Every structure is written in C-alpha cells, then in structure tokens.
Structure 1
Amino acid sequence: MKTPEQCSALEDIRWAIDTLDQQIIQALGQRLAYVKAAAQFKPTQDSIAAPERVAAMLPQRQQWAEQAGLDPMFVVPLFAQIIHWNIAQQVRHWRVQRGLEQGVGDE
C-alpha cells in the first residue's frame, strides 16, 4: 500500500482507506473472538463485566491514542463503546454456552 504522500490520485487514497477499514473490521472480529474465548474462564455471568479491567483499559487506550497523534476525546469513547458491546456479546456467548440462551448463527 502506498503511503499518503505517495498517492498520486484520489483513487489511491480511497483504495487505501477502504483497505484500512477492512483491516479494522477484521481486527474487531478477531477481538470479539478473543472476548468470546474469555467466557470459558468466567465462573459467573456477573464476573464478565470486570469493571476493574475496563477501568485500566481506557486510560491505556488514551495513552496509545496520544502516542499515535490521535485525539483521545475521539478514541476513548470509541473504545468504551467497543468494550461495552463486546461485554454484551460475551454475556450472550456465556449464556449460550451454558444452555441459558439459544444461540444464533455459529454459536
């Protein structure tokens, strides 16, 4: 992939953005797979949320955003949303694994 400075046409830039967006979506899918795998280590549904872990994660994401030259006011709420959605998916997966909820798709 060309660097932004190497792009010679708008099509180059659009292709690169589309490629990066696809990689971001694939990474989110991989992240969710790990989140679901973590369900096997959670003894109770209440243990899934792990508020102490979330409390540690968001400041770290803020630091990473700052190091990457990104606005933490954008990145931190984005990751908060990703984390909370993943927690909900883990709860559902945990319940499906234990026969407490019916799965959909590849559960």
Structure 2
Amino acid sequence: MKTPDACDGLPDIRYAIDSLDHQIIELMRQRMAYVKAAARFKPTENSIAAPERVAQMLAQRRAWAEQAGLDPHFMETLFAQIIHWYIGQQVLHWRATRAPA
C-alpha cells in the first residue's frame, strides 16, 4: 500500500482504502473476542452495560480523536454506536454461556 502522497491515481487510493477497511474489520473481530471474554467476569446480565465505563471510554476516544486531528464529536458518536452494538453482543453471549437454565 502506497502512502497518500505516493499514489499515482484513484486505483492506488481505492486499494489503500479497501486495505485499511479490511484492517478495521479485522480489528473489530479481535475486539469482539475481548468483549466476549469480558462476559466471563460479569456476574449478572445487568452488569454488562457499565454506563460509567462507557462514559469514560467515550471521553477518552473524544480526546484521542482531538489529538489525531479528527472531528471529536463525530468520533464520540461513532464510538457510542460501536460500544452500544458490542454491549448488545456481549449480552447475547452472556445469555448463551452464563444465564441460568
């Protein structure tokens, strides 16, 4: 993958974007493995949401976005959606593996 300045045309740019998107998806898969592993340490289904942890995470992601020169509001909104989806997935996993029969 070429650097942005080294790209000779749209095919190079599209290849790079596709490659980066593929990496993002792979990282999301890895993140899911940790989210599911965390279910082992959640004593109840109600403990999964952890709103204080979510608030801390969103503030940190907002700061990271600012440091990276990205729109902090957009990144906070994006991560809020990502986190909400992962919480739902963790609830489903918790129910499948931990909920009393």
Task: Provide TM-score, normalisation by structure 2.
Answer: 0.95
Aligned residue runs from structure 1 range 21-100, under 5 A: 21-98=21-98
Q: Using the aligned pairs only, state the percent identity.
A: 68
CA deviations 1:66-88 (Å, max 9, x no partner) are 11111012111000000010000
Q: As a proportion of its length, which structure holds more helix?
A: 2
3-state SS, counterpart of residue 95 of structure 1: helix
**Structure 1 residue ranges, 4+ long, deviating more than 3 angstroms after superposition:** none
In structure 1, what residue type is equivalent to 2:13?
I
| Distance change (3 Å), C-alpha of 1:100 and 1:92 | farther
Name the aligned partner's letter for residue 49 of structure 1: A
Query: Partner of 1:90: helix, strand, or coil?
Result: helix
Unpaired stretches in structure 1, ≥5 consecutive residues: 102-107
Letter in 2 for 1:63: A
Aligned residues: 101
Report Cα offsets for 1:33-74 as digits up to 9, x if no partner.
Answer: 100100000000011011110010001000100111110121
Considering only aligned residues, what root-mean-square deviation do their CA atoms show, in Å? 1.3
Q: Deviations over 1:4-43 (max 9, x none)?
A: 0000111000000000000011111111110010000000
